Amino acid sequence: MNEILELFSHAPSFFGYFVVGLFFLGAYFLAYTAATKCDEMELIRHGNMAAAYSLIGSALGFSLPLSTAISHTASAQAFVFWALVAMVTQICTYYFLKLVLKDVDAQIEANNPAYGILAGGVSLVVGVINAACVA
């Protein structure tokens, strides 16, 4: 019985990090979709797989360092700092892709899945490296 009470004593911390994590994920979606040229959600509503691949890869690339920050930081302030670093890193990754692949936005809008997978994959890889740096 004591073990169960001990587990429940961690519930406020769990819910706090969970809610703040979801808040940052929502903030990231807003910031990322504002930074990109195309309206990913509208494209996805119309069946654009390239936009879906790109957006989910970016979201995963953001979520990985976010989860590492939750696991490895000792304070809420440190978590917020690393969440903001992850957000900036992913948006910079998008701009790097635009620099290297000048037509990435047009290709995603044209539903070229290769570009969507490449963009999402690069975002995911950067997120994995970012997460390792947070740990």
pLDDT along the chain (135 residues), means of 10: 76 88 96 92 97 97 95 89 96 96 94 97 97 89
Q: What is the pLDDT of residue 133?
A: 94
Q: What is the pLDDT of residue 106?
A: 95
At 22, which amino acid appears? L
Closest CA to 28 of 70, 76, 87: 87
**Burial class (CB within 10 angstroms; exposed 0-12, middle 13-18, buried 19+) of 98:** middle
Q: What is the pLDDT of residue 116?
A: 97
- How far apart, in whole angstroms, are the C-alpha atoms of residue 8 and residue 99? 49
* Token pair 């989860």 in the structure block, residue: 67
- How far apart, in whole angstroms, are the C-alpha atoms of residue 83 and residue 106? 29
- Per-residue burial over 32-54, b if 16 or more Cβ lie within 10 Å, else e, is beeebebebeebbeeebebbbbb
Residue by residue, DSSP assigns 77-102 as HHHHHHHHHHHHHHHHHHHHHHHHST
